[in-house]
Amino acid sequence: MAKPTKIKNKNGSTSYRIFIQNNGKRESKTFSTRQLAQDWADKRQREVERAEVYGQVSTLTIRQIITDYQDRFGAGFGKSKTNDLARLSRYDIAELDISRLTPKHLVDHCVARNKQAKPQTVGMDLSTLKTALSTMSAVANFDFDQGVFDRASKVLKQERMIASTAKRSRLPTWTELLTLTRFFRGQQRSKTPMSEIMWFAYFSARRLSEITRLEWSDNNDDKKTGMVRDAKHPREKKGNHRRFKYEKTAWKIAQRQAVKSTYIFPYNAPSISVLFNLACKSVGIKDLHFHDLRHAAATRLALKGYSILEIQQFTLHTDWRVLSHYVNLKPEDILDK
């Protein structure tokens, strides 16, 4: 163990110098007291040993790490994750060196975020940040204590600053769908067949981003199946092409579309979402999202008596726990047998 060496200074005062070995090189530092010198040597030795196991302590800022993460892996990110990372890069916490990150920094960030967003959104922010930092710590070989997130999360959950995504149970009523249909059909100037797209979503259980990517060439006329290319997946979206079963009404709607492109519905997904929201506002329908149509489709399939495994062939959910968030059955929906 390194021991401090007493040094007599020119002015008559006393200092203590101590040396440690770091990968064959000597490091030294001088302190005013023996205890400070010894404490520094002990601390520095632990840092050297930890670096040998986990990598060097990084001087990169969180913003630099997020940027590197996007450059390396961003091609496989969805729009939501890309936007979340871009937003995180703009906050004050992104200016912090990763080696200085503490639970307090995370708590302060989330407290500020709660003034702008719901706890569920803030929780997703925290999860996205943790994924980016932990991934890059392995790729770039720098030391990163993931425990800061665990300690911060415990406090944030306790104070209800973060929360799991709430299960949404809002389904469109038949009256609301008919009201929207009349509204869309009255929009003669619109080149987007919103009524057809809305009903296709209601029967097919396809996400909006999937609807606009469906290709004619992927349809199997005999088996009434289609394919979602690059289907949503937490890790393997690119190249994750998955075949699905068309519900019979959804098949009829698809078949009556004009063949004028590679795609069955060659329209812009964000524009469709905007048009749908504007329509709901115009006719006085509150708190209805386009994605609620997918919930309605999954619930309808369950009411028709399809099993879980069969519903998954329509919706393409790989996990029943996730699918259960889409099937919004009520006790009164169950028929006596």
pLDDT in tens, 274-312: 999 999 999 999 999 999 999 999 999 988 888 888 999
Residue 164 predicted with pLDDT over 70: yes
Handedness of CA 204, 209, 210, 211 (dihedral sign): positive
Choice among 45-54, 85-94, 95-104 with the minimum mean pLDDT: 45-54
pLDDT of residue 6: 87
Provide mean pLDDT across the span 30-51.
81
Phi, psi (rounded to 5 degrees) for 21: -100, 130
pLDDT band at 19 (very low <50, low <70, confident <90, very high): confident
How many Cβ atoms sit within 10 Å of the Cβ of residue 84? 19
Residue 55 has pLDDT above 60, yes or no: no
Q: What is the mean pLDDT of residues 140-148?
A: 81
- Confidence (pLDDT) at 31: 87
- pLDDT at 56 (0 to 100): 55
pLDDT band, residue 196 (cuts 50/70/90): very high
**Per-residue model confidence (pLDDT) at position 54:** 57
Q: Which residues 6+ apart lie within 8 Å of 50 measured at CB? A: 143
pLDDT of residue 305: 87
- Report the pLDDT averaged over residues 182-188: 90
Which tokens in the block code for residue 149? 């997130």
Residues 3 and 18: their CA atoms lie apart, in Å, by 6
Say if residue 244's pLDDT is above 90.
Answer: yes
What is the overall mean pLDDT for the chain?
A: 87
For range 118-140, the mean pLDDT: 90
User: What's the predicted TM-score (pTM) here?
Assistant: 0.63
What is the average pLDDT across 128-136? 92
285 residue type, one letter: I
CB 84 within 8 A of CB 66: no
97-100, Cβ contacts within 8 angstroms, sequence gap of 24 or more: 97/58, 97/59, 97/60, 97/61, 97/62, 98/58, 98/60, 98/61, 98/62, 98/65, 98/133, 98/142, 98/144, 99/57, 99/58, 99/59, 99/143
Note whether 172 and 296 are within 8 A (CB): yes
277 and 197 Cβ atoms separated by less than 8 Å: no
**pLDDT at res. 295:** 92
List b or e across 296-312, with b for residues whose CB sees 16 or more CB atoms inside 10 angstroms: bbbbbbbeeebeeeebb
CB neighbours (10 Å) of residue 321?
Answer: 7
Instruction: In whole angstroms, give the CA distance from residue 289 to residue 296.
Output: 11
Q: Is the pLDDT of residue 57 over 60?
A: no
Q: Report the half-sphere exposure of 197 (CA within 13 A, side-chain side).
A: 28
**Whole-number Å distance between alpha carbons of 285 and 302:** 25
Q: Percentage of the chain surpassing pLDDT 70?
A: 90
pLDDT band, residue 235 (cuts 50/70/90): low
The confidence score (pLDDT) of residue 237 equals: 59
